[in-house]
Structures are given as C-alpha cells and as structure tokens.
Amino acid sequence: MIPPIEQWVHGLQMGLPWLGLLTLCIAYRGQALAILGLGGEAVDWGLRLRDPPVPAEAKAAVLAGAALAVVLPFLQEWQRCREITRASRPSDRTR
C-alpha cells in the first residue's frame, strides 16, 4: 500500500513541471504566442544572461524547495526499503 503522503508527493512531481511551463508562458506571453504563430512578436530563440541577474536568495529558495519536494521523499523511501530488506533477511537464529 502506498501511503497518502507519497501519493501526494508523486502528484506534485507530475504537476510541477506543467506549472513551471504555464508560469513561463504567462511571464513571456508574447513569446508563447509567437511560438504558436500568434501575436505580433517574432520568435526569439536566443540565449542570453538575465539582466538583472536572479538574486541569490531566490536561487536558494528554489534549491530548498527542490530538496523538500524531491530529495527528502526519495531518502524516506530509500530508508523504508532498507528496513524491509533487513526484515526480510533470515536471522542468525533460523540458520
């Protein structure tokens, strides 16, 4: 049985990339429309550094959020698998 919290985390992992894409489309609406062949802008596929750069606090917040939403649930599942593996091994008394 998969616990509800794990189901919730997996649901977030499936939905957050789409939320990120939607956020980009809203932030750069003109370019999103241009990619679809709509709107008045031309598609700009150029890469350039952001001006002004993203603040260090924002980068730290994203990394902390990723750790909470991805790394910690993974570590929890890994620990549970280790416990089940230990429990399923025959003990020294049964040999």
> What is the number of structural domains in the chain?
1
Whole-number pLDDT of residue 30 = 94
Identify the residue with better confidence: 50 or 58: 58
Check pLDDT > 60 for residue 47: yes
Range of the domain at 74: 54-89
At CA 70, angle to CA 67 and CA 76, rounded to 5?
95
Report the predicted TM-score, pTM, of the whole model to 2 decimal places: 0.51
Check if the beta carbon of residue 44 is closer than 8 Å to that of residue 31: yes
Structure token digits, residue 81:
């698998």
Confirm if 94 and 41 have CB atoms less than 8 A apart: no
Contact at 8 Å (CB) between 77 and 6? yes
pLDDT at residue 58 greater than cutoff 80 = yes
Q: How confident is the model at residue 51 (pLDDT cuts 50, 70, 90)?
A: confident
Considering only 37-46, 53-62, 72-81, which range has the smallest mean pLDDT?
72-81
8 A C-beta contact, residue 74 and residue 14: no
pLDDT score at 93:
59
Instruction: Please report the pLDDT score of residue 8 as a whole number.
Output: 86
